[in-house]
Amino acid sequence: MSISEIALRRRILLVLHRVRKIASEKTSPRWIVFTADAVISLVGVFLGYLIRFGFQITEIDFTNVLRAALLVLSVRLLYSVIFKIYAHIIRYTSLHDIKRVFTTISVGSVTILGVVFFTRQLATPFSMPLSVIVMEFFFTMFLMINMRLFIRYIYILLTNIDLDSKSVIIIGSKELAVLLKETIELHPREKYKAVAFADTFVPSKKKKLAGLAIYKLEELQFLVEKFDVSHFVIAKRDINREEKELVGKVAQKYSIKMLTAPDLWQVSSTGRLNIEEIDMDELLQREPIKLEKDHIKSDLTGKNVLITGAAGSIGSELVRQIASYKPKNLILIDQAESPLYDIELDVVENYNFKDYTVVLADILNKSRIEKVFRTFKPDVVYHAAAYKHVPMMEKNPIEAFENNVMGSRILADLSDQYGVKKFIMVST
């Protein structure tokens, strides 16, 4: 990245920080909302008269218009104070707030209609056409509601521009899931970004929900890879065991964190999302497996440990776990160059582990593997170099047999020949 690009990036981040600081203020001046509502009421009156008289300004009695505007403004502001529609935080506008605006405007229009009818009975010079009253009602309703929704949308748009946001998939597609999605959007400080819904039953015609696509749970693996997902959020109270196991399987494979919330749609008094991380045992409601760590430590600490398939999904996790036990030498074998390099960087940068040896080799190459055994004399062997995709292996049985059977045989024979104390067959 060039110096100019770095400078531009810093400026963008600074601007975004300032925008978020302004947008995230706990309160905004109520008089601004109050004034905006008043202006909208006046606009509604004038638009009503313009349309009523076909935009022929010369035919409009402006004295009458001013009287009508004064009446409408007085009534609208009176009910605005009574119902306090200016008092809520606009960026959190909800369906409840919209209903309150609708009620306020409706009651106000009925009052205006009553006043106009009463003045006509008294034969006063003031008159306000019924068509203008109706049009003012719709114009005011439309503008007041959309002003609030527009501000909410702009707030969400600005505050959700985050280079470090964590992509989450919401498990569920009912009201609770939708409310959770909206709550996440309104709390950008948590740095979560909902990217999709996933559920078991997805209506064939219903492709989107609250602006996000709905996918079947069977597509979770595809979604994780597509959106680079880091979290799953459970927003389904009736989730069954099969669904939990499906979600859990994908979460374990991709090291995805699981989140849930006892009160999903409630925000705590601190302004934070009331969601918390759960582990797989809690999700599946099973007793956690208690490892005999002292026993494992005695097997690994200070020993030469060899891992085949070290760059694979299982092998790489073994590398990370075993590195924490400080073996004398961790020998990493794999035939995939790039993934092997990635796990090497991971171990060095994230685990600060340097007692390792990287070996690029195929386990079917017996002479090469024997040289590794003869040189490093492993005490423990974890064999994870195997083809695991069953449907694909059924289509390629020869390759499956050679790698999973013959490769395992070579490793087992060499382990026996060179006095390996423990040979752990992780997968084939």
Residue type for position 5:
E
Question: What is the mean predicted confidence (pLDDT) over 147-173?
Answer: 75
Q: What percent of the chain has pLDDT over 90?
A: 32
Which position has the token pair 């078991």? 200
Between 389 and 405, name the one with better pLDDT: 405
In the prediction, which pLDDT does 314 show?
A: 83
- pLDDT at site 23: 47
Tokens of 308: 């085949």
**How do the domains of the chain map onto residue ranges?**
3-159, 166-284, 293-425
Q: Contact 372/365 with Cβ under 8 angstroms?
A: no
Is the pLDDT assigned to residue 92 strictly greater than 60? yes
Q: Do the domains 293-425 and 166-284 match in fold?
A: yes
Residue pair 170/206 in contact (Cβ under 8 Å)? The answer is: no
Higher local confidence (pLDDT), 137 or 253? 137
Strand partners, 198: 171, 215
Q: Distance between CA 36 and CA 28 in Å, rounded? A: 13
Instruction: Report the distance separating Cα 234 and Cα 256, nearest Å.
Output: 13
- Which among 128, 125, 31 has a CA at the least distance from the CA of 70? 128
Q: Looking at residues 234-256, what average pLDDT do you find?
A: 84
Please give the C-alpha separations between residue 67 and each of 60, 76, 116, 127, 270, in angstroms, as whole numbers. 13, 14, 11, 9, 48
Task: Give the total residue count for the chain.
Answer: 428
pLDDT digits (tens, 9 = 90+) for 289-298: 555 677 788 8
CB within 8 Å of 179: residues ≥ 6 apart: 264, 265
Tokens 């706990």 sit at which residue? 26
How confident is the model at residue 27, as a pLDDT? 46
Separation in Å, CA 339 to CA 111, 314, 347? 73, 13, 12
Q: What is the pLDDT of residues 392-424, one digit of tens each?
A: 888 889 999 999 999 999 999 999 999 999 999
Q: Which long-range contacts (CB under 8 A, 24 or more apart) does 30-33 make?
A: 30/86, 30/87, 33/86, 33/90
Find the Cα–Cα–Cα–Cα dihedral 232, 237, 243, 247, rounded to 10°.
10
- Stretch among 98-112, 174-188, 329-343 having the lowest mean pLDDT: 174-188
> What was the pLDDT predicted at 24?
47
Separation of alpha carbons 290 and 278, rounded Å: 17
* Architecture in CATH of 293-425: 3-Layer(aba) Sandwich (3.40)
3 state SS of 25:
coil
pLDDT more than 70, % of the chain = 79
Interval 46-57 mean pLDDT: 91
Question: What does the alpha-carbon distance between residue 229 and residue 33 come to, in Å, rounded to a whole number?
Answer: 39
- Terminal C-alpha separation, the chain: 43
**Average pLDDT over the chain, rounded to an integer:** 82
Backbone angles phi, psi at 207, to 5 degrees: -95, -25
CB-based burial of residue 313 (10 Å sphere; 0-12 exposed, 13-18 middle, 19+ buried)? middle
Residue reference for tokens 């007085």: 74
Backbone φ and ψ for 152, nearest 5 degrees, come out as: -60, -45
**How many distinct helices (H) and strands (E) make up the chain?**
16, 12
Three-state helix/strand/coil letters over 32-60: HHHHHHHHHHHHHHHHHHHHHCCCCHHHC
For 172-317, where are the E strands, in sequence order? 192-199, 208-209, 212-216, 231-234, 257-260, 276-278, 304-308
Assigned superfamily of 166-284: NAD(P)-binding Rossmann-like Domain (3.40.50.720)
What is the DSSP code (8-state) at residue 256?
P
Tens digits of residue pLDDT in 9-42? 556 555 555 555 544 444 456 788 889 999 999 9
> Which of residues 132 and 271 earns the better pLDDT score?
132
What is the model's pLDDT at position 428? 64
291 compared with 218, residue with greater pLDDT: 218
